[in-house]
Amino acid sequence: MGTIIARKRKDGTTGYTAMIRIKRAGVIIHKETETFDRDQTAKAWIKKRETELAQPGALDKPTDPLLADVIDKYNQDKQRPHGKTKDQVLRTIKNSRLGEMRCSEIRSPDIIAYIQSIKAQPQTVGNYLSHLAAVFTVARPAWGYPLDKLAMEDARVVAVQMGIISRSKERNRRPTLDELDKLMRYYTVMELKRKDAIPMTRLIPFAIFSTRRQEEITRMVGADLDKANLEIIVRDMKNPGEKIGNDVRTALTPEALQLIELQPATQGRIWPYNAESVSTSFSRACLFLGIEDLHFHDLRHDGISRLFELGWNIPRVAGVSGHRSWKSLQRYTHLRQVGDKYLDWPWMVTIDAVATSKPA
């Protein structure tokens, strides 16, 4: 039997959501919902659909479910978990007006209308369209659902031409040595006051010399470190369309290895700290010190730039940074070999001295 749920809308009216679930051997094999303005209409729809679905072979034919139900199936059938951002985006689409439409009803104007309703930067809106496109790509060939892939392609063309979506802007912000000196002095005082403080005096240089993101740094484990070959496995490395389970063996610079060796010897997490806490601490320190528009992620950009300034070629840099596509690194190739700006950096000299003085 179907069920009806009454929900108050934002405009004060009541919507009646009729839901039909059919199980076989305790497993849901069919689910569909529809929302109506009147309870009687919802009941009539349930009766009509139950009669139709009771016909021989009705459940063996491709159905025309709501987009929200297709998103549910897309999530259920995935072999790897999505990242937090993709989960949030798909959940938002599912609960939108677009999510309440049937697959066969969705045309490019509907998609355009939805993404125009998103109050965000064009780069963010582009992420919504990309994650929705992933659902459109598999819905028809995998399950026979009538989602029109051409409608999505048309919507993308319109969105680009109208400036509704755009690629993320490339940040070129790099910390100056003066800014880093201020940060290192600030954190030196903080770490002397609190023994349980996050060791930012080591994390900041490590982010530069390893070219790693804060999430990747805090996931590193000692068992993945290969000191002899100057390598470490980076778990769940961020990559377009893939993250969870994307484990990549990357090269370590000697400076990055020295900083790892300053951490307590353990086979657990090398940097056992919360990634959000690291980023938040860095942002607060910059605010306190009057350092404008500097993010923790900019340290990765600085580290990659440094390698090119040392005269490294793209394949060698990619071995450290983990870039799968060399095209992503082409924007750095304008940098000319200028040497190592950290060669005489006092903080690096201190790190070297501590590392070399450690007992074997």
SS3 for the chain is CCEEEEEECCCCCEEEEEEEEEEECCEEEEEEEEEECCHHHHHHHHHHHHHHHCCCCHHHCCCCCEHHHHHHHHHHHCCCCCCHHHHHHHHHHHCCCHHHCEHHHCCHHHHHHHHHCCCCCHHHHHHHHHHHHHHHHHHHHHHCCCCCHHHHHHHHHHHHHCCCCCCCCCCCCCCCHHHHHHHHHHHHHHHHHCCCCCCHHHHHHHHHHHCCCHHHHHHCEHHHEECCCCEEEECCCCECCECCCCCEEEECCHHHHHHHHCCCCCCCECCCCCHHHHHHHHHHHHHHHCCCCCCCCHHHHHHHHHHHHCCCCHHHHHHHHCCCCHHHHHHHCCCCCCCCCCCCCHHHHHHHHHHHHCCC
Instruction: Tell me the per-residue pLDDT of 204-260, one tens digit each, with 9 for 90 and over.
Output: 999 999 999 999 999 999 999 999 999 999 988 876 555 556 788 999 999 999 899
Q: Return the pLDDT at 85.
A: 82
Instruction: Tell me the per-residue pLDDT of 21-59, one tens digit each, with 9 for 90 and over.
Output: 888 777 677 777 888 889 999 899 889 888 888 888 777
Provide mean pLDDT across the span 269-286.
Answer: 93
Give me the chain's average pLDDT, please. 86
On the question of pLDDT at 193 being above 80, the answer is yes
Q: How confident is residue 349, by pLDDT bands cut at 50, 70 and 90? A: low
The model's pTM:
0.63
Instruction: Tell me the per-residue pLDDT of 139-192, one tens digit each, with 9 for 90 and over.
Output: 888 888 889 888 999 999 999 999 898 876 677 889 999 999 999 999 999 988
Q: Give the lowest-confidence range in 91-100, 194-203, 261-270, 315-324.
A: 261-270
Domain ranges of the chain: 1-61, 62-169, 177-357
On the question of pLDDT at 93 being above 60, the answer is yes
Q: Return the pLDDT at 92.
A: 94
Q: Do domains 62-169 and 177-357 have the same CATH topology?
A: no
> pLDDT exceeding 90 applies to what percent of the chain?
46
Fold entry, domain 62-169: DNA polymerase; domain 1 (1.10.150)
On the question of pLDDT at 356 being above 60, the answer is no
Q: Domain 177-357, CATH 3.40.50.2000 — does that match?
A: no
